[in-house]
Amino acid sequence: MAATEQTTVASQAVLQLSQQIEGLLVERNLRGMALARQALRPGYLARTAALLFKPGQHVLIGTGFPVAGTFETDGPVGAIAIYRMLQQLGIKPVLVCGEPLYTALQRDFQVEQMQLGSDGHTRASELLTIYQPAAVLCIERPGKAADGRYYNMRHEDISCRVADLDALVQLARDSGVATVGIGDGGNEIGMGNIANIIGALDIRPALTCCDELIVADVSNWGAYGLACFLSLQSGQDLFACCDAKPVLQFLSAHGSVDGVTRQNTLTEDGLTPEVGAALCQHIYQLYQQHRPVPV
């Protein structure tokens, strides 16, 4: 087989694998993300991994969804998994969030703060100047609705508790920096890419766009899909970074709550960590089957 034919076959295999995992991530269809997936160009997991795989460069990872005076478990768990994967690959991740998540993370991770009530564009410009990132990724981070306000899944206005990370994504896009959004409901940064579809759901949709959008039944689970393709691209098995339970324990000790139940439990969107772990194991098995595939 000619080299060009081999490349074509490999590319088709990667696309098929990406589509298969993209389907698994929304199989439960808890909040309409199976519909959202239909509006996206297939292969977004593989394309996103390629955007992030930039050894030696910085990647900014925004997260933190305010719930009940604190932060929810969905988002930070996935952000930490992605942080650790990138770190293992020689990429320089930086978490970006507001309080109280910032205080919870600052001792154990490199983290930058976005402050409530401050000029988001000024702070975004500072961060982009300091780090010159290859990409900016936001996972389960509230995005601005059409009226410029932030809303949760209950349609409650939470603007007074949300620091402006939309400005970071918007300025990054304007500067030619790759941007990624991961969400599970329609009110997260990046959902502007499919606002016409999200409008059919029971949500106040976010309008902030990104270059690549990943949808999942639980945003944290998007990290498992990225683990597969970052592992394939790098030749390193990164799935050890995806163990959610100890991260949930860490976050719980710092006051996290489940975003659905609003209780301080070791759950994500009302689901036990075993549910996500089973999905991760399924994706890992697919990764093992496709390890010889060049990407």
Single-letter residue type at 87: Q
What are the CA-CA distances from residue 80 to residues 157, 269, 285 (Å)? 27, 17, 22
Q: What is the Rg, in whole angstroms, of the alpha carbon atoms belonging to the chain?
A: 18
Q: Which pLDDT belongs to residue 37?
A: 97
- The whole-chain average pLDDT of the chain stands at 94
SS3 readout for 165-233: CHHHHHHHHHCCCEEEEEECCCCECCHHHHHHHHCCCCCCCCCCCCCEEEECCCHHHHHHHHHHHHHHH
What mean pLDDT comes out for the span 114-126? 89
Provide mean pLDDT across the span 171-196: 97
Q: Higher confidence at residue 201 or residue 141?
A: 141
Are 78 and 97 in contact by the 8 Å Cβ rule? The answer is: no
For 153-164, write each residue's pLDDT tens digit. 999 999 999 999
| Per-residue confidence band for 8, with pLDDT thresholds at 50, 70 and 90 | low
Q: Give the pLDDT score at 191.
A: 98
- Whether the full predicted model's pTM is greater than 0.75, yes or no, is yes
- Please give the Cα distance from 115 to 102 (Å, whole number): 10
Domains recognised in the chain with CATH numbers: 26-290 (3.90.1640.20)
24-51 residue pLDDT tens? 999 999 999 999 999 999 999 999 999 9
**Inter-residue contact 173 to 209 (CB < 8 Å):** yes
